[in-house]
């Protein structure tokens, strides 16, 4: 790695002294104005990662479902997965280096400890629709070039598109946006051939005023020809993620903007600002009936089991990976009714992904709608051998092409849900009644320093501060079918509270009680909950 230009370039991107970025649940995220230094350094880091792996890496400038004024960076390994967790510590150290000398010193240390070879580094860079994107993409590019790497500017893309393209490069397969669309469409058409519903299906999609809207518009004509009519809302005229988008719908349980008055029969979906999360919903009274990531995982598991029934030979191990935020009813359904193995991991798809790859078919979804279905290389090989004679093998192979094998992808997720509903001949109502969600509530508590809250057992129990878990246990014991946990957010400066119970009142009360315990034991700031 050529570090001779690094210090000079680094001077253009000074870090403000009191900014201490931290690689959170999915990369760095902060107010956009603070981020040029972080993104510059991530550019350099991903060039180093490219040399280390002898592959093309990726970087997406996005703050996902967060407000327009925020931005962030998501880092992509050559496999198309997120940056390997061992390297997060380098990302943290580099991002926090105080000045250009320090940046150089950190990269030199990285170069030595990872034995980074010299050679050609290449980093694919994409961005979402935020106004701050241009400046930050410039910073990323400068960071890549400052260590002698080549930046490939891929422009406006969804996060999962860039992950998919990086993976395709790795596999030596076509990696343009055109091939992204055509590959999903081919798989969709193949899975529905001879099985499509007789009438066109209409789906209203709340696009969060983010990057997914334009991308879905590009797919609209071809999907209409295949019997799926997309009615796109919040396509960019309004404010990004404000009053709309998958995070708003899943957490606030309210109809997004531009979706009122659509009628209770309207099938609706909502994606987030960088189109890696997906939830479905049906308008219901003043609110909505939510089909979250857990429901999508259950539908995917049911569909995959139905396909596997037609497959000869040894049984295929299906694992479903969830976090503590998964509704208790979903876990019970997957385990007891479908007989799937369920694994619970800490929050963040990097943790779920890590477990999902251990199964022949690993289905992972966070309750917020971020997830995908992974097929193991061994299973794919077996399916390829069988495909000439077995339609089930062909269907499963098509499914592996339909579902983004790199990361959770809202666009691919929509196609998965639509195929599964049509192939299982299921209405949204039937999907909804696979199991009934336990009422739940999520709250946030602002505290002086969220890092004093530490957890164990996949974040289901708090270890510190003293007394927090004990008080939480008492509150849970008083609540019929109660369950609650707290954890420091990895993306926001808050402690998150989750509670569920047999009634909504019970869940609300439990969440409030726990929020008060957090406020009391972890030095809450601002008004008490």
- The number of helices, as runs of H, and strands, as runs of E, in the chain is 18, 19
How far apart CA 98 and CA 376 sit, in angstroms, is: 43
Asked about 64 being catalytic, the answer comes back as yes
Contact track, ligand GN1, 31-50, x by CB under 6 A: --------------------
276 is in an annotated binding site: yes
64 vs 469 by CB, closer to ligand GN1: 64
Strands laid side by side in the 70-76 sheet:
28-31, 70-76, 57-61, 122-127, 150-156
Q: Which stretch binds Mg ion (CB under 5 A): 60-68, 99-107, 398-406, 488-496?
A: 60-68
Sorted by sequence, the CB contacts under 8 Å of residue 234 that are 6+ apart come out as 206, 207, 208, 209, 213, 244, 245, 256, 257, 258
| Count of other CB atoms within 10 angstroms of residue 232 | 18
CA distance 63 to 24: 12
Ligand-binding annotation for 64, yes or no, is yes
Phi, psi of 76 (to 5 degrees): -125, 125
Total number of residues binding ligand GN1 (CB under 6 A)? 15
Residue 64 binds Mg ion, judged by CB under 5 A: yes
Candidates 177, 189, 206, 274; binder of Mg ion (CB under 5 A) is 274
Q: Is the dihedral of CA 507, 513, 514, 515 positive or negative?
A: positive
366 counts as binding ligand GN1 under rule CB under 6 A = yes
- Give the residue with the Cβ less far from ligand GN1, 26 or 32: 26
Residues 330, 298 contacting (CB under 8 angstroms): yes
In 3D space, the residue among 187, 433, 183 whose CA is nearest the CA of residue 295 turns out to be 433
Residue 54 Rama label (left phi>0; alpha psi -120 to 50; beta): left
272 binds, among ligand GN1, Mg ion, none (CB under 5 to 8 A by kind): Mg ion
| Shortest spacing between CB 402 and Mg ion, in angstroms | 20
Please check if 253 is assigned to a binding site.
Answer: no
Question: Is residue 419 within 8 Å of 191, Cβ to Cβ?
Answer: yes
CB 269 within 8 A of CB 202: no
496 binds ligand GN1 (CB under 6 A): yes
Interaction partner, residue 473 (ligand GN1, Mg ion, none; CB < 5-8 Å by kind): none
Rounded least distance, CB 498 to ligand GN1, Å: 7
How many other C-beta atoms are found inside a 10 Å radius of the C-beta of residue 264?
Answer: 10
Q: Would you say 145 or 276 has its CB closer to Mg ion?
A: 276
Q: Binding site annotation covers 487?
A: yes
Whether 272 has a binding-site annotation, put simply, is yes
446 binds ligand GN1 (CB under 6 A): no
491 is a contact residue toward ligand GN1 (CB under 6 A): yes
Is 391 known to sit in a ligand binding site? Answer: no
The residue behind tokens 């404010």 is 239
To the nearest whole angstrom, how small is the minimum distance from the Cβ of residue 348 to ligand GN1? 5
Residue whose tokens read 């001077």:
11
Beta carbon of residue 247, minimum distance to ligand GN1 (angstroms, whole number) = 7
Nearer to ligand GN1, 168 or 442 (CB): 442
Regarding 483 and contact with ligand GN1 (CB under 6 A), the answer is: no
Alpha helix locations (H) across 54-158?
A: 88-96, 100-113, 133-146
3-state helix, strand, coil in the chain (%, to 5): 40, 20, 35
Residues 484-513 that bind Mg ion (CB under 5 A): none
Give phi and psi for 443, each to the nearest 5: -135, 165
Is 128 one of the binding residues for Mg ion (CB under 5 A)? no
Q: Identify the residue among 72, 273, 346, 348 touching ligand GN1 (CB under 6 A).
A: 348
Residues 6+ apart with CB under 8 A from 272: 64, 65, 208, 210, 212, 241, 245, 246, 247, 369, 410
Nearer to ligand GN1, 170 or 353 (CB): 353
Pair of tokens at residue 103: 């940046």
Q: Quick check: 460 binds ligand GN1 (CB under 6 A)? A: no
Q: Give yes or no for residue 489 binding ligand GN1 (CB under 6 A).
A: yes
Binding string to Mg ion for residues 226 to 265, with x set by CB under 5 A, is what? Answer: ----------------------------------------
Catalytic: which of 10, 37, 50, 64?
A: 64
CB of 331: closest distance to ligand GN1 in angstroms?
A: 16
Structure tokens at 430: 């039937």
Phi-psi region of 236 (alpha: psi -120 to 50; beta: other; left: phi over 0): left
Angle between helices 177-192 and 391-402 (to 10 degrees): 150
Q: Identify the DSSP state of 334.
A: I
Phi, psi (deg, nearest 5) at residue 362: -110, 115
Q: Is 366 annotated as a binding residue?
A: yes
256 marked ligand binding residue: no
The only residue of 1, 9, 26, 300 in contact with ligand GN1, by rule CB under 6 A: 26
Considering CB distances under 5 to 8 angstroms, the limit depending on partner class, which of Mg ion, ligand GN1, none binds residue 68? none
The SS3 of residue 211 is: helix
Q: Which stretch binds ligand GN1 (CB under 6 A): 169-177, 372-380, 470-478, 490-498?
A: 490-498
CB atoms under 10 Å from CB of 427, counted, come to 11
Q: Which partner in ligand GN1, Mg ion, none is near 12 (CB below 5 to 8 A by kind)?
A: none
> How many angstroms separate the first and last alpha carbons of the chain?
52
372 binds, among Mg ion, ligand GN1, none (CB under 5 to 8 A by kind): none
Question: Least CB distance from residue 370 to ligand GN1, whole Å?
Answer: 6
Residues at the binding site are: 64, 272, 274, 276, 366-368, 487-491, 496
Q: Which residues are catalytic?
A: 64
Contacts to ligand GN1 by CB under 6 A: 25-26, 64, 325, 347-349, 366, 368, 370, 489-492, 496
Contacts to Mg ion by CB under 5 A: 64, 272, 274, 276
Residues at the binding site for substrate are: 366-368, 487-491, 496
């Amino acid at each position: 790695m050529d570090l001779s230009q690094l210090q000079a370039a680094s001077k253009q991107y000074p870090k403000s002294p009191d900014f201490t970025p931290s690689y959170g649940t999915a990369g760095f995220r902060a107010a956009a104005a603070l981020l040029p230094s972080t993104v510059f350094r991530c550019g350099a880091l991903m060039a180093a990662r490219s040399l280390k792996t002898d592959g093309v890496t990726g970087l997406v400038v996005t703050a996902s479902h967060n407000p327009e004024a925020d931005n962030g960076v998501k880092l992509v390994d050559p496999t198309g997965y997120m940056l390997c967790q061992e390297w997060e510590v380098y990302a943290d150290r580099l991002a926090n280096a105080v000045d250009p000398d320090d940046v150089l010193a950190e990269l030199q240390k990285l170069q030595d400890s990872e034995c980074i070879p010299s050679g050609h580094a290449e980093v694919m860079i994409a961005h979402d629709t935020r106004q701050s994107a241009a400046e930050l993409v410039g910073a990323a590019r400068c960071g890549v070039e400052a260590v002698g790497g080549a930046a490939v500017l891929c422009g406006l893309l969804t996060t999962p598109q860039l992950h998919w393209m990086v993976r395709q490069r790795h596999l030596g397969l076509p990696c343009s946006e055109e091939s992204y669309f055509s590959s999903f469409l081919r798989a969709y058409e193949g899975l529905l051939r001879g099985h499509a519903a007789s009438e066109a299906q209409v789906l209203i999609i709340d696009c969060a005023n983010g990057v997914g809207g334009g991308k879905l518009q590009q797919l609209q004509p071809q999907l209409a020809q295949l019997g799926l009519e997309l009615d796109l809302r919040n396509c960019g005229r309004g404010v990004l993620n404000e009053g709309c988008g998958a995070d708003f719908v899943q957490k606030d349980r309210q109809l997004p903007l531009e979706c009122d008055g659509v009628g209770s029969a309207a099938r609706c979906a909502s994606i987030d600002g960088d189109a890696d999360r997906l939830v479905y919903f049906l308008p219901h009274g003043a609110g909505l009936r939510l089909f979250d990531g857990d429901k999508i995982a259950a539908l995917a598991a049911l569909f995959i089991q139905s396909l596997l029934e037609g497959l000869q030979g040894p049984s295929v191990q299906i694992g479903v990976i969830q976090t503590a935020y998964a509704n208790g009813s979903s876990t019970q359904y997957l385990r007891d009714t479908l007989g799937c193995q369920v694994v619970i991991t800490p929050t963040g798809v990097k943790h779920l992904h890590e477990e999902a790859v251990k199964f022949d078919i690993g289905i992972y979804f966070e309750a917020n709608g971020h997830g995908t279905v992974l097929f193991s290389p061994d299973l794919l090989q077996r399916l390829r051998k069988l495909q000439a004679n077995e339609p089930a093998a062909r269907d499963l192979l098509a499914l592996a092409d339909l579902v983004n094998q790199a990361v959770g992808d809202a666009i691919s997720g929509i196609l998965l849900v639509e195929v599964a509903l049509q192939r299982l001949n299921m209405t949204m109502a039937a999907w909804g009644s696979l199991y009934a969600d336990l009422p739940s509530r999520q709250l946030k508590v602002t505290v002086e320093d969220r890092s004093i809250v530490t957890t164990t057992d996949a974040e289901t129990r708090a270890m510190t501060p003293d007394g927090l878990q004990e008080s939480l246990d008492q509150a849970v014991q008083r609540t019929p079918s109660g369950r609650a946990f707290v954890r420091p957010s990895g993306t926001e400066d808050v402690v998150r509270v989750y509670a569920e119970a047999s009634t909504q009142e019970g869940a609300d009360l439990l969440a409030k009680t726990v929020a008060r315990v957090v406020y009391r034991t972890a030095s809450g700031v601002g008004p008490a909950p």
